[in-house]
Amino acid sequence: MTESLYNRLVSEGDDPDAPERVRVEHRGDRAVVTLHEPDRLNVLSAPLVRQLRRALTALDDDPDVRAVVLTGAGSGFSAGGDLKMMSAVTERRNDPAPEGVADVWRWIRREFGGVARLIAASDTIFIAALNGAAAGVGLAWALTCDLTIAGDRAVIVPAFGRLGLLPEVGTSWALTRRLGYQGALAYYLRGEPINAHAAQQLGLVHEVVAHDQLLAAADEWCSRVAAMPAHATAMAKPLLRAAADASWNEALALEEFAEPVCFTTAAFAGNVHAMLAGQRGPAGGS
């Protein structure tokens, strides 16, 4: 029986002898995850994707890690899907495998989509630091992160249309919400690279900094996360993500159910007592 393409890719990705394609640097309450195949612009090969899933899963499970920076090695963030992998798919388009195209769907959903779902569902704050060109699924992951910042050498590359593909792995959702329908369609039809400053004006990235200050800027955002009570950022992330697609009444109800929990925390009580003590000092003349 013909081996499943999905199983073959998983086996290739989990090969213990595969080169290291993802590097993780722990920095106390934060971590930097680097896509590391710079000679291929961090293309999403099977080893890179599987290694990334394992790394992000481990960080998501670590209660001491409150923020994760996702970036790329070399001159690119990620060139997107592996053309060699895509070629293997086209070569098997007439393959009489029992599941046919569902085999490709499984890779897209479980692996590409699995990373995006992990980022979105995690209580950890994910910060994409775009160091260079970001295309395809790599761009989708960056847009899924909670904050996307860019170095001034970064470029957004809408390569879907030129390959005869559609926006994928959540990109259609992100583009229509940031650009509107017409803006998203124009982005898709033009297929032209967008520099970092233009991407910021369009709302595709939150901040642009000098290339050599990119990781320092990302670390500043990690410090902002660390300065907040842990429960606050963990609860604010799912609240704000849900509110983005909720009506006003629904968003209000979400807030009303979430806020009372915060009143019960030691962090809130301590901050209130400190503020009251500060107010009493000047008022009492002491």
Q: Tens-digit pLDDT profile for the chain (286 aa)?
A: 566 777 888 888 888 888 999 999 999 999 999 999 999 999 999 999 999 999 999 999 999 999 999 999 999 999 987 766 666 555 555 555 555 567 778 888 899 999 999 999 999 999 999 999 999 999 999 999 999 999 999 999 987 777 788 888 999 999 999 999 999 999 999 989 999 999 999 999 999 999 999 999 999 999 999 999 999 999 999 999 999 888 888 888 888 888 888 878 888 888 878 888 886 644 433 3
Encoded tokens for 22? 């993802």
Domain finish residue from 208, 227, 246: 227
In terms of domains, do 91 and 202 share one?
A: yes
Structurally, the chain folds into a number of domains equal to: 2
Q: Which CATH number fits the domain that encloses residue 82?
A: 3.90.226.10
Regarding whether 40 and 12 lie in a shared domain, the answer is: yes
pTM of this prediction exceeds 0.85: yes
Domain residues for 244? 230-284
Please indicate, yes or no, whether residues 186 and 210 belong to a single structural domain of this protein: yes
114 with 171, same domain: the answer is yes
One domain for residues 80 and 168: yes
Rounded CA gap, 145 and 241, in Å? Answer: 11
Does one domain contain both 121 and 73? yes
CB 191 within 8 A of CB 161: yes
Verify that 211 and 245 share a domain, yes or no.
no
160 and 249 housed in the same domain: no
